[in-house]
């Protein structure tokens, strides 16, 4: 059984992309791993030292979002797991791919065109990591396929 990875930042706008990943995993009889990555560098610059354990707070947010996605995947008959991490997105992605022997990564473009999930960034990331790790990368926008790269092929 292969495992596909779907990094997501949750929310309604991510659902079409998550649905694409669910259907794609179903077609290929694969398991799905939903991933949420928080990058605390953006927050720690904001002001005073953060007395709240913001990493834990955000991991709870991520866990909640991924559980929503997981429930929808399981309703569709796809076995899905979740992983919440903190760090630089590309580094975390590389780690998770290696740790879980990921076969395919499905990246969704951000609806708001903010943060890490811009079209250009995702295509660069897909090409670089796809070559480096020999993993298939699929970029989707609002549930529609935008770009596909297959590692060294």
Partner 1 sequence: MGFFRNSMKTSPRNLRDLCMAGLILCMFILVSNLIVQPGHAMRAGEFIISGQLQDSLGQPVENASISAAAHDGGKLLGETESRSDGTWSLTLDAVPRGGVDITVERAHFQPRSVSIDQTVLADLGSANIYRVDTIELERRIDVSFWVASLVFLIVLLLIAFEFLHSATAALAGISTIFLVSYIGGAYSPSLKILTFDQAIEYIDWKVVFLLIGMMIIIAILEDTGIFQWMAFQAYRISRGRNWLLVVILMAITSIASALLDNFTTMLLMVPISLQIGMALGIDPLALIIPEVLASNVAGITTLVGTPTNILIGAYAGIGFNDFLVNQTIGVIIALIVMGAYVLFHFRRELIKNAEGISPHLYEKLRENARIENVGSLWKALVVFVLVFVGFILGEHVDLVPAVSALAGATILLIWLNPDIHQMIKAVDWTTLVFFMALFMLVGAIQEVGLISTVAGWMAQVVGNNLPLGVFLIIFGVGTLSTFVANIPLAASMLPIVRVLTGSIPGAGNLILYYALSMGAAMGGNGFLIGGEANLVTAGITEQTEYPITFVKFLKVGLPVTYLTLAVGFIWLLIRF
Given the rule CB under 8 A, which residues bind partner 1?
9-14, 38-39, 42-43, 45-54, 56-58, 60-61, 63-65, 67-68, 71, 110-112, 114-115
**Beta carbon nearer to partner 1, 60 or 152:** 60
For residue 92, the minimal CB distance to partner 1 (Å) is: 13
Nearest approach, Cβ of 103 to partner 1 (angstroms)?
25
| Residue 39 or 136 having the CB closest to partner 1 | 39
How far is residue 7's CA from residue 11's CA, in Å, rounded to a whole number? 13
- Decide whether 13 or 136 has the Cβ nearer to partner 1: 13
- Nearest CB to partner 1, comparing residues 25 and 117: 117
* Shortest Cβ 153–partner 1 spacing (Å): 32
- What gap in Å lies between CA 41 and CA 87, rounded to an integer? 8
Q: How far is the CB of 49 from partner 1 (least distance, A)?
A: 6
List own/partner pairs for 142-148 with CB under 8 A and 24 or more apart: 142/13, 142/16, 142/17, 142/109, 142/111, 143/16, 143/17, 143/19, 143/20, 144/16, 144/20, 145/20, 146/109, 146/119, 147/122, 147/123
Instruction: Kindly state the helix (H) or strand (E) to which residue 71 belongs, with its residue range.
Output: helix 54-75
């Amino acid at each position: 059984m292969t495992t596909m990875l779907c990094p997501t930042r949750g929310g309604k706008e991510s659902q079409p992309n998550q649905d694409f990943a669910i259907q794609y995993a179903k077609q290929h009889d694969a398991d799905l791993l939903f991933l949420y990555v928080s990058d605390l560098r953006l927050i720690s610059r904001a002001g005073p030292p953060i007395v709240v354990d913001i990493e834990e707070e955000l991991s709870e947010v991520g866990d909640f979002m991924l559980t929503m996605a997981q429930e929808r995947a399981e309703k569709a008959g796809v076995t899905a797991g979740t992983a919440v991490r903190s760090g630089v997105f590309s580094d975390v992605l590389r780690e998770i791919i290696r740790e879980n022997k990921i076969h395919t990564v499905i990246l969704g473009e951000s609806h708001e065109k903010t943060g890490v999930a811009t079209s250009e960034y995702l295509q660069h990331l897909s090409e670089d990591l796809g070559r480096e790790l020999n993993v298939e990368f699929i970029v989707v926008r609002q549930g529609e396929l935008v770009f596909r790269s297959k590692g060294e092929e």
